[in-house]
Amino acid sequence: MNIRESISLAFSSLRTNKMRSFLTLLGIIVGISSVIAILTLGHALKMQTTQSIVSSGANDLMVQVTERPKEGEEDTSTSNDPYAAMYGGGGAAPDEASKLDVDDIQRIKDAMGDKISGVPVGSAYGGMGVTLYNGERSQSASVSPVNLDFLELEKVNITYGRTMTQTDIDHRRPVILISESQMFSLFDSPEDAIGGEVELDAQGSSSSAVVVGVFAPNTSGGLLLSSTDDITYTPYTNSGALGYKEESWASLTVRPAEGQDLVQVKSQLQAVLTGMYRSNENFHAEIQDFQASTDAFNQVLDGISAAISAIAGISLLVGGIGVMNIMLVTVTERTREIGVRKALGATRGAIRLQFVIEAMMVCLVGGVIGVLLGGALGIFGSTFFSEMTFPPLSAVLLALGFSLGIGLFFGYYPANKAAKLDPIDALRHE
Amino acid sequence: MTGYEYNLPGQPGAWLPGQSGADPTLALPGAASNRLLDMRGIVKSFNVGAESHITILPGVNFHVDRGEFVSVVGASGSGKTTLMNIIGLLDRANQGSYTFDGEDIMQLDDDDLAFYRSQNIGFIFQSFNLIGRISALKNVEMPMMYAGINVKERRERAEHLLEQMGIADRMMHNPVQLSGGQKQRVAIARALANDPPLLLADEPTGALDSQTGRMVMDLFHQLNREQNKTIVFITHNSELAAETTRVVTMVDGRIVSGEDAATPYLGAPAAGPVATSPTSVLAPPAATPQGGGQA
């Protein structure tokens, strides 16, 4: 009695009771397909998010100017939470002379060479809320003062006109880049927009600026990043026109070049910064990175994915109980067959194997259908917020293995019951 | 007994090879050196220790020599089905000794018994007991499957046996599509699958009409004569029993005739009352004339 024989017997009995087999399979199909669909969607979400984190600078190093710890005091600036520093935690605000300015940026770039791909100034999330006016037409916007590194690294995609130039920055030109939607609400056509003058009204202070370029909204933001639709970019040297100065910074972002070892870049940058602040008694510059946060985020995402899968897995348990139930019915129905088989030389092991394999086949067939169904569902679902994502191979193997395991677990008891039948009683069974 | 020469209707003498080479000198009964199975003092009780304790076989001596065609007759409840179960190694005696082909059967465990059964005993049941959802061919292959014979060999042999039984054209049919006589021929082919020395037939004609029953009896005679199969034939039908080489009659769990003086009745066992009711739990299965075999 080999396994192949048992498998073909299992399929013959699956065919014999088609409706019953289908209903039994249904429990497994529902369970497996929901697990696969959830894992596929989770995978798509994770890939998408990781991609957008990386493109938005998850590898960025943040240089933070902080107060030097006084003698005997604990250094509070080495907190591992970059967000605390970002939002004003960690000691007194640095004075103007201790902040980092354009010359410092240049020094860092010179020292780091091709280890870094740039020092972006500006925010992809917007800056100061303003209202743009073109005569009667107005549009609210969020002005982000930026440098050229920012536009390059954030891949701001100019669709009409030109991008910002070094000359714009050097000469503090009042130029702006507006988004396509802003262009359409302020102007009739791209031709009108380029070279057009708009008023920037920032709560009392008002200035005018010339539109030099229009950029397409960032579509690769995924779930994490909001659209860049409402953002307007202007040279950071023009920020004075908006009523605040943005030419020296208490913190800067340094983006390591692709493929560089983050730890190495970090230590080299720290050396550069230490040199720059050697003579400053009150302040020094610390580096923080977002790696820990990224890891934590991924962990949370994996955890959520696993938790939802586990809930979906409960339906697998119900499916497994259904399989057990139907196997018990099958054993009762086939008692006489079991008696005949025993009379003809089947050992207990052979009978047990036959029924366990039958249960496993039911589950495997359900598992395969479930993987196909859940995979289709996941692939279809993923296209709504990401590019088409296929179920991860590990999830497919896990699901099939799990369905076989359910067959083994829930099939063993009925199979053992069959194996222990007394041949005489079984033969006499009506 | 040399006068038998049965042929199937429409298939005169063509369905068993070597028919003309039958050796009438074979199978002389009573040759002690030629003993296939030997049972001494077999006691079989049920519900031992309970109030419903019942002894079906109080101490039976029974033997079969190679080449014999022995019939066991008796009324319902006479214990012949219990005896058959013990002969067929489906059940164990509470006391006594049982040697089959010189081997002490009482020493084997359940799985060993299963294998021993598949090698040495071919069962033929009243209700055929074919498996309904697989083909006749697969049914015949089944004992070979459990005996560990490879796929190709067992298929060839199953086809050959079904040809011998004259139903080669029906081998891909499921049992439900076969008539009673065809079913019993498939069952006989299945019993022959592992070429066992002993065929054990429990009322094999009970579910068949007299003409088909006659055909099955002829088949047994031919297997006995031409392939030297030893047959133990359990029946109600004393006419059919009279055709066999030896008739063993059972009454109330005792063999009252057919066993020779060399294997005398050894007396009642020490424990338990002897069953006296013919309507005991061991009444043979009710006849299903339309044919069973659906497990």
What is the C-alpha separation between B196 and B36, in angstroms, rounded?
12
Q: Are residues A263 and A148 in the same domain?
A: no
**A386, pLDDT greater than 80:** no
A105 assigned to some structural domain: no
A338 has a chain B CB within 8 A of its CB? yes
Is there a domain that residue A419 lies in?
yes
**Among candidate residues B192, B211, B210, the one with its CA nearest the CA of residue B200:** B192
- pLDDT value, residue A13: 81
User: A113 in a domain, yes or no?
Assistant: no
Helices (H), B107-204: 110-120, 136-146, 151-164, 180-191
Q: Which domain holds residue A94?
A: 59-99+254-289
- What pLDDT sits at residue A53? 66
Query: Do A351 and A395 share a domain, yes or no?
Result: yes
Tokens of B212: 């088909």
Residue B215 pLDDT greater than 60, yes or no: yes
Which residue in this structure is represented by tokens 């059940």? B91
Residue B294 has what pLDDT?
41
Q: Give me the number of domains chain A comprises.
A: 3
Asked if A153 and A168 sit in the same domain, the reply is: yes
Is the domain of A376 the same as that of A299? yes
**Residues on chain B touching A343 (C-beta within 8 angstroms):** 88, 90, 117, 123, 129
Closest chain B residue to A9 measured between Cα atoms?
A: B134
Domain boundaries, chain B: 34-257
Token pair in block for residue B139: 């049914």
Rounded CA separation B106/B97 (Å): 7
Answer yes or no: do A80 and A153 share one domain.
no
What's residue A85's pLDDT? Answer: 47
Return the minimum-mean-pLDDT range out of A232-246, A384-398, B102-116.
A232-246
Residue A323, Cα to own-chain centre: how many angstroms? Answer: 37
Do residues B207 and B287 make contact, with C-beta atoms less than 8 angstroms apart?
yes
| Shared domain check, A93 and A152 | no
Domain final residue, candidates A262, A289, A316: A289
Name which CATH class applies to B34-257. alpha beta
% of chain A beyond a pLDDT of 90: 23
**Interface probe, candidates A1, A2, A8, A344, chain B, greatest B C-beta count within 10 A:** A344
DSSP H or E segment with residue A427 = helix A423-428
Tokens of B174: 């499921």
pLDDT of B20 over the 80 cut? no
Mutate to test the interface with A, among B92, B120, B127, B134 (most CBs of A within 10 A): B134
Q: Is the distance from CB of B147 to CB of A349 less than 8 angstroms?
A: no
Q: Whose structure tokens read 């289709």?
A: A376
Residue A107 belongs to some domain of the structure: no
Q: Domain check: are A337 and A417 in the same one?
A: yes
- Extended beta strands in A245-364, E state: 248-249, 251-256, 283-289
Nearest Cα residue in chain B from A420: B110
Shortest CA distance to A160 belongs to which of A185, A192, A131, A186? A192
Q: How far apart are CA A243 and CA B295, in angstroms?
A: 92
CA distance A27 to chain B (A): 25
Say yes or no: A197 contacts chain B, CB-CB below 8 A.
Answer: no
Q: Where are the beta strands (DSSP E) in chain B?
A: 35-46, 54-65, 69-74, 95-100, 103-104, 121-124, 198-202, 230-235, 246-251, 254-257
The candidate with the shortest Cα–Cα distance to A337, out of B112, B294, B185, B141, is B294
* pLDDT tens-place string over residues A132-181: 888 888 888 888 888 888 888 877 888 888 989 888 888 888 899 998 88
Q: Do A343 and B88 touch (CB under 8 A)?
A: yes
Q: Kindly list the residues from chain A whose CB atom is less than 8 angstroms away from the CB atom of residue B194.
A: 345
Asked if residue A186 and residue A134 are part of one domain, the reply reads: yes
Identify whether residues A95 and A35 lie together within a single domain. no
Q: In one letter, which amino acid is B36?
A: L
- A150 CB neighbour count, 10 Å cutoff: 23
Is A274 part of any domain?
yes
Asked, for residue A109, whether it belongs to a domain, the answer is: no
First vs last Cα of chain B: how many Å apart? Answer: 38
Q: Which residues of A84-121 are buried (b: 16+ CB within 10 A; e: fewer)?
A: ebeeeebbeebeeebbbebebbebbeebbeebbbbbbb
One domain, residues A174 and A262: no
Which residues of A, range 10-39, sit inside 8 Å of B by Cβ? 12-13, 16
